[in-house]
Amino acid sequence: MSPLPTLSDRAAGLLLHPTSLPGGYGNGDLGVAAHRFATFLAAAGQRWWQMLPVHPVGDGYSPYHGLSAFAGAPHLIALEPLVRAGWLRPEEAAPPRRRLPPGGAAPGGHAHGPARYAESLRFREARLRLAFARFQARAPAAERRRLEAFRAQEAHWLADYALFAALKRAQRGAPWMRWPEPLRVRRTAALREARRALAGEIALAEFRQFLFERQWQALRAHCHALGVALLGDIPIFVAHDGADAWARNDLFFLDRDGRLPIQSGVPPDAFSANGQRWGNPLYDWRRHKAERYAWWVARLRLTLRRFDAVRLDHFIGFVRYWAVPGGQRTALHGHFRPGPGAHFLGHLQAEFGHLPLIAEDLGIVTPAVTALREQFRLPGMRVLQFAFGGDPANPHLPHNHDRTSVVYTGTHDNDTLVGWARGPGRGRLRPEARRALDYLGAGPEAELHWALIRLAYQSVGNLAMLPVQDVLGLGRAARMNLPGTARGNWTWRLNEGALGEAHAECLAALARLYGRAAPDAS
């Protein structure tokens, strides 16, 4: 067994969200394919598996607009373990192949999805309800005690989340801002009555979280046995129509009816000329400070129980954040407000000691952002697709990296390397790609994606992280997300067998060559 890496160790990893794993249920989950991918990572000399947030998703299925900052996604619960437990019969868990094919094959045999979330959620929901009914009828006493212990341990978030999930179903999916006023503003008598009337739905929601946590910890144990660490992602903001904003609306800038007087976003940047209007509620940081950031401490503590390190999304927002008036259609007329900065991170450090966090310092990076990151010794992100604009002082160029850097060929918000290199016209190489070839000293016929992967491994940055799409050399159809757009994102999936032995051997050879393999790797 290889020792688990830390962010201070020289290593490499792959970025793949579990929903992108293959399988017959509409989206990937925590089952067999996840365990096989962990085995592939170890064989490929990869010591980290990075994922996007793993929370329940709302409209648009974005993992960055989860319905809870604490709960796990029910659509990631695998059905095979429920068969082994005797709560489902094999035929009940059989994938409905005609309705939910695992993904169409693109040229070269690689999967381009799509994930079918709506169908997957319906199919899994019916089976989870059936499994819960059988659990209630026949589960042994030891299993019941484990569920009760889980409820008690997680009560600080689970009680509100389970009630929220039950109410949302009872209200036919309506946003909580449109619920009847006693429920919307959480009147005590109304909540007491809802808990009585919806006791069965609440218990089912708790059972789903119990299953998620059990399957997650089984996957994590398997990864750890292989010497593979898990890298998670904490979105800076929560969803407006989510359990957190409903249960603790005093921690956010919301009006009496739950509407947004101001909302999150970013000013115009490389992704959007009008900026981005994200629609999340903004934190009332004065209230968080008065409570000694208890909500954030609880959030990070749970996340670090699932992951070995965490990417802190939109790190610049902790220095200053873009506040957009609630009625605006674009983010052009927003303004900056100060974030909690060193006081917040200092409190987290006092609570946790070492902070295993990566600062997502992309966007408008001011000296104050860099100073805050360096004060707490947090690794920053360097993205090779941002490196070749022509400025030799560009911090994303490898000769400007430092050892704390986490080096990416691209992130979930970027095009794939092949899509980026060819640009929208898919013809000649774009100027930035030509500069990359010049930088590499490679000829125009070179496989640019492998050349840039090698460049990421050569960097002095401790961690080199590659989206799986770049390892496979896929084009823009395999892009995971296009920022500023609401539809068509988050659906890319792998086909079974798309990652093979040749990929593992090539990655392992690079990891050994550039000192990123585990210490005991031969």
- Hey, what's the torsion of the CAs at 32, 34, 37, 41, to 10 degrees? -130
Last residue of a domain, one of 325, 343, 360: 360
What distances in angstroms separate CA 295 from CA 67, 298, 424, one per listed residue?
16, 5, 43
Give 420-467 pLDDT, tens digit per residue: 998 776 668 899 999 999 999 877 656 889 999 999 999 999 999 999
Local structure of 134: helix, strand or coil: helix
Q: Are 498 and 472 in contact (CB under 8 A)?
A: yes
Q: Between residues 65 and 273, which one has the greater pLDDT?
A: 65
Q: How many residues does the chain have?
A: 522
AA letter at 240: H
Q: What is the number of other CB atoms lying within 10 angstroms of the CB of residue 521? A: 14
Same domain for 262 and 355, yes or no, is yes
Separation CA 502–CA 43 (nearest Å): 11
In a domain, 521, yes or no: no
User: What value does the mean pLDDT take over residues 31-42?
Assistant: 98
pLDDT value at 499 more than 80: yes
Q: Count Cα neighbours of 251 within 13 Å in the Cβ-side half-sphere.
A: 19
In a domain, 120, yes or no: yes
Q: Between residues 292 and 107, which one has the greater pLDDT?
A: 292
Q: Between residues 103 and 450, which one has the greater pLDDT?
A: 450
pLDDT at 442: 77
Separation CA 224–CA 218 (nearest Å): 10
Same domain for 83 and 106, yes or no, is yes
User: What value does the mean pLDDT take over residues 289-299?
Assistant: 98
pLDDT at 96: 79
For 301, counting Cβ atoms within 10 Å of its Cβ (0-12 exposed, 13-18 middle, 19+ buried), the class is exposed
In a domain, 520, yes or no: no
User: What value does the mean pLDDT take over residues 49-60?
Assistant: 94
The alpha helices in 321-444, defined as continuous H runs, are: 341-352, 367-375, 417-422, 431-440
Same domain for 206 and 88, yes or no, is yes
Q: Catalytic amino acids?
A: 313, 360, 413
User: What value does the mean pLDDT take over residues 485-498?
Assistant: 90
Contacts of 350 (CB under 8 A, 6+ apart): none
AA letter at 355: L
User: What value does the mean pLDDT take over residues 139-161?
Assistant: 97
In a domain, 130, yes or no: yes
Last residue of a domain, one of 318, 333, 360: 360
Where in the sequence is the domain holding 315, given as residue range(s)?
248-360
Same domain for 234 and 254, yes or no, is no
- Hey, what's the torsion of the CAs at 410, 414, 416, 421, to 10 degrees? -90
pLDDT value at 98 more than 60: no
Name which of 362, 129, 343, 165 is nearest 247 in CA terms. Answer: 165
What confidence category does residue 105 fall into, taking pLDDT thresholds of 50, 70 and 90? very low
Cα 445 versus chain centre, distance: 35
pLDDT at 271: 67
Strand-pair partners of 266: 276
pLDDT at 316: 96
H or E element that contains 323: strand 320-325
pLDDT at 112: 52
Residue 141's CATH number: 3.20.20.80
Q: Which of 110-124, 145-159, 477-491 shows the lowest mean pLDDT across its residues?
A: 110-124
pLDDT value at 106 more than 70: no
In a domain, 214, yes or no: yes
What confidence category does residue 111 fall into, taking pLDDT thresholds of 50, 70 and 90? very low
In a domain, 237, yes or no: yes
Q: Are 214 and 33 in contact (CB under 8 A)?
A: no
In a domain, 77, yes or no: yes
In a domain, 215, yes or no: yes
Count of domains for the chain: 2
> DSSP state, 2?
P
pLDDT value at 107 more than 80: no
Last residue of a domain, one of 360, 395, 420: 360
What confidence category does residue 110 fall into, taking pLDDT thresholds of 50, 70 and 90? very low
- What are 63's two structure tokens? 């993992």
Separation CA 408–CA 360 (nearest Å): 11
Bond before 90 cis per omega within 30 degrees: no
Separation CA 502–CA 232 (nearest Å): 27
pLDDT at 200: 98
Same domain for 92 and 198, yes or no, is yes
With DSSP H G I counted as helix, E B as strand and the rest as coil, what are the percentages for the chain, rounded to 5?
A: 45, 10, 45
pLDDT value at 257 more than 60: yes
pLDDT value at 244 more than 90: yes
Same domain for 236 and 276, yes or no, is no
Contacts of 276 (CB under 8 A, 6+ apart): 265, 266, 269, 331, 483, 484
pLDDT at 327: 83
Q: Are 27 and 116 in contact (CB under 8 A)?
A: yes
pLDDT cut 70: percent of the chain above it:
94
What is the phi/psi pair of residue 166, to 5°?
A: -65, -40
pLDDT value at 100 more than 70: no
pLDDT at 439: 94
Strand-pair partners of 463: 11, 406
Highest mean pLDDT among 1-10, 142-151, 422-431: 142-151
Name which of 413, 428, 421, 424 is nearest 449 in CA terms. Answer: 421
- What are 456's two structure tokens? 């990421």
For the chain, the average pLDDT equals 93
